Amino acid sequence: MPVAPSPGAPNILLISIDSLRRDHLGCYGYARPTSPRLDQLSREGTRFQTVVAPTTWTLPSHVTPLTALPPELHGVIVPTAQISSSTVSLAQVLQASGYETAAFVSAPFLDAGYGFSRGFDLYDDYTAVAGNKPQAHRAVNSPKLQRAFARWFEGWIERASPRPFFAFVHMWDPHLDYDPPPPFDTLFSPDEARAESLSARTAVAVAPGVLARDIALYDGEIRYTDLHVGMMIDLLESHGQLDRTLIVVTSDHGDEFYEHGQTGHRKNLYDETLLVPLLLRYPPAVPSGHLVEQQVRLMDVAPTILGLARVTTPPTFGTAAPTPFPAMDLSMHFVDSLGASRSSPPAFADLNGEQAVVRTSLTKTHAWLHPLRDVEHYDLFADPEERRNLWEVDSAVGTSQLQVLRD
């Protein structure tokens, strides 16, 4: 039986924008105007500078922020896996705490059959999900998602529901294929100079013109998605719910453009696909114009939401998992005297159980597993693009990190 929510409990809108690189947003320093509404959200709330995803593909990387468990504990690391029925989700915790819950998703990997629907009063995996993978890659989903969310939200308003809402919206359009509708398909001109630089880094024969076009189209997809995020925010504001709603925007992974010899994602664990944005807005508790520079993890999103909503975390939720570095409530970073003095835990990432990474704010060690091989170690302060493998030169720090991966 759900309990009554805490007095003044916020609504919660969690938006995940698939395949969104943090460094293609203006608020993260990108020169192109791809994200005016997300940039505004950043100015009105808090931006986390370095957020590490648990992997670089959609299914397991969404299980983590919705359960506060890393892939090695939630176990969903292959396309045929499902979320265990014993795993408690963020939606279940909020539903039991008196929230009205709804989700609107747009990718086959978020199908209810994987177990994502548990805890949601409404789980819409049909309005904006194409029938098969090729169709999904070509689909334009943002308008459908925005309209589906709007219909549900306006129904919540009309019913004058006494229960706050938790809505999860998964937006797919920045994902391959890069095919935004007009005029977003020509909004940005191909950057030939960047494409030349990127193609020169790899032994793969990449035509700079093709690469430059793909980057421009990818940026157009982001701007198109940003428009529809803005429409959802405007809808909240038009009904007087904006400042009563905790808005969280993040992603599951990025996409690479041959920075390390590949395109797309689910190929490796370098930062261009591993680091994601994280923006929070909620004026009663989240400071505006605030920047958190310490490294955090996508795994920390759920306990942060529960903390800001003043919902007691049950002992069965992910933060109680048997791991030395469990998920944590990031709202401590809103108090400078606490957040600035606390060291960040290392972040771990896994790809299909075959590759693994341990990352700190200054260093990163990557290895292939079973057997352990092809170790790479990077000094992220001196080499943020991960181009100079120091494993053979100075492996002292890397060795200690490698031991963590072995364990």
Residue carrying structure tokens 């098969």: 132
How far apart (Å, rounded) are the C-alpha atoms in residues 319 and 170?
23
Local confidence pLDDT in tens for the 407 residues of the chain? 567 777 789 999 999 999 999 999 999 999 999 999 999 999 999 999 999 999 999 999 999 999 999 998 999 999 999 999 999 999 999 999 999 999 999 999 999 999 999 999 999 999 998 766 677 777 899 999 999 999 999 999 999 999 999 999 999 999 999 999 999 999 999 998 888 888 878 766 677 888 999 999 999 999 999 999 999 999 999 999 999 999 999 999 999 999 998 889 999 999 999 999 999 999 999 999 999 999 999 999 999 999 999 999 898 898 555 678 899 999 999 876 455 556 789 999 999 889 999 999 999 999 998 888 899 999 999 999 999 999 887 666 656 666 666 55
The pTM score is: 0.95
CA distances from 396 to 369, 375, 391 (A): 20, 13, 9
Please write the tens of the pLDDT for every residue from 221-244: 999 999 999 999 999 999 999 999
Q: Where are the domains of the chain?
A: 11-344, 362-407
pLDDT given for residue 336 in this prediction: 61
pLDDT of residue 198: 86
Q: What pLDDT is attached to residue 122?
A: 98
Instruction: Give the pLDDT of residue 105.
Output: 97
Considering the segment(s) 11-344 as one domain, its CATH architecture is 3-Layer(aba) Sandwich (3.40)
Query: Which residues make beta-bridge pairs with 103?
Result: 123, 168
Asked whether 362 and 396 are in contact (CB, 8 A), the reply is: no
Q: What is the pLDDT of residue 310?
A: 95
**Alpha helix ranges (H) inside 126-207:** 133-138, 142-158, 192-200
Largest CA distance in the chain: 65
Q: E strands, 172-301, where?
A: 245-250, 256-257, 263-264, 275-276, 278-281, 290-297
Digit-coded pLDDT (tens) for 147-189: 999 999 999 999 999 999 999 999 999 999 999 999 999 999 9
Ramachandran region, residue 101 (left: φ > 0; alpha: ψ -120 to 50; beta: rest): beta
Within 13 Å and on the Cβ side, how many CA atoms surround 366? Answer: 20
* Beta-strand runs (E) in 265-339: 275-276, 278-281, 290-297
H-state helical runs in 18-123: 36-44, 58-67, 71-74, 90-96
Cβ contacts of 160 within 8 Å, gap of 6 or more: none
